[in-house]
A = this chain, B = another copy of it.
Amino acid sequence: MRDAAERLGYSASPAARALRMRRSWWVGLIIPDIANPMFGEIARGAAEVLEEAGCHLLVSSHDARPERQAGQIRNMLRQRVDGVILQPFSSTDEDVPRLVQAGVPLVLLARRHRTQPTDHVTMELRAPLLEGLAHLADLGHRRIAITLMGGRTSTSAEERFETYCRFMRERFGAADKSLIVRLERTELVSGREAVPVLLAASPTAIVASNDLLALGIRDGLRDAGLLVPRDLSLLALDDTFLSALPGIELTSSTLPKRQIGVEAARLILARVAAPRRPCETVVLPAPLVVRGSTEALPA
């Protein structure tokens, strides 16, 4: 019977199925930027495991505009998606309770919501930073500057802030707050613009929130007549494929991008199968890869 159907090239109409079954067999992935290869790899990982379960991935990019994110969520709910994978803007993103309210399986990426418990997948936040700081400290660096993204609303920034301060205190007795630079945007130009502020604290090494930002910083340093790693060491957290490129070669903590997608999809499917199961958190490692941008401090 099934093969007879396949012989004849017949296949059920998804629209009729969705109407009748009140679900679409689609899972939505809502991301800030579809041109960012990081999210592309997450999408690939998620699509892989969803296909196996007979579902499809629906990707929506909102280009960092909250009102677009809200619109895309509305749209997905209308489509009766089986689940939503979302990287929220902040830990107080109002769309998160809305989604939970709507009763749709939800997986948060990167951050968790402050009040609303959900399934979510993150990468280790403390370990890679500690590993990076230890790497620099072992190379002789003491004045290590760090960039932190977003305001105080960002849990990840706060966690990094605390981790940084604790490490510096434990290793060197004190943490000089002037070495901490808070940035709004995580782009190349943002890195370039941050250079004067960074240099004001006269660091010998800089930890950047991600590799694109690090590239901008390196470019700004070059304009200031400073070369990496000769004059300053540079380390990037949360890297993309860029860090490994010849000509870039940044020491960085590398995210398991595909795996993030895989785990997120897995959590969605698990909740579809068991709506009342307790929320689960998956924490993925982000090991440090030493490349050419960090060097021992000359004595």
Contact = CB atoms under 8 A, between A and B. Distances in A.
A9 to B, nearest CB: 9
Interface string A5-43: 000000111111011000010000000011111001101
A245 interface: yes
Contacts of A75: 56
Given A19-B19, A215-B247, A246-B218, A79 B14 contact: yes
Interface in A62-77: 63, 74-75
A190 B155 CA distance: 42
Interface in A240-261: 241-242, 245-248
B35 A47 contact: no
A15 B24 contact: yes
A222 interface: yes
B246 A215 contact: yes
Contact of A18 (B15, B47, B241, B248): B15
Contact of A35 (B37, B80, B247): B37
A219 interface: yes
A31 B101 CA distance: 35
B246 A245 contact: no
A58 B245 CA distance: 30
A216 interface: yes
Interface in A58-112: 58-59, 61, 63, 74-75, 78-80
A36 B43 CA distance: 12
A35 B24 contact: no
A187 to B, nearest CB: 11
Interface in A179-204: 188
Nearest to A219: B246
A204 B37 CA distance: 33
Contact of A44 (B15, B40, B63, B79): B63
A18 B246 CA distance: 49
Contacts of A63: 44
List 8 A-B pairs, minimum CB-CB distance, nearest first: A35-B40, A219-B246, A15-B18, A15-B19, A34-B40, A35-B37, A35-B41, A247-B247
Given A33-B40, A34-B59, A35-B40, 14 more contacts: A11-B78, A12-B78, A14-B78, A14-B79, A16-B19, A19-B19, A34-B40, A37-B37, A43-B61, A58-B58, A188-B245, A215-B246, A216-B246, A219-B246
8 contacts: A14-B78, A15-B24, A15-B79, A40-B40, A47-B61, A188-B245, A215-B245, A215-B247
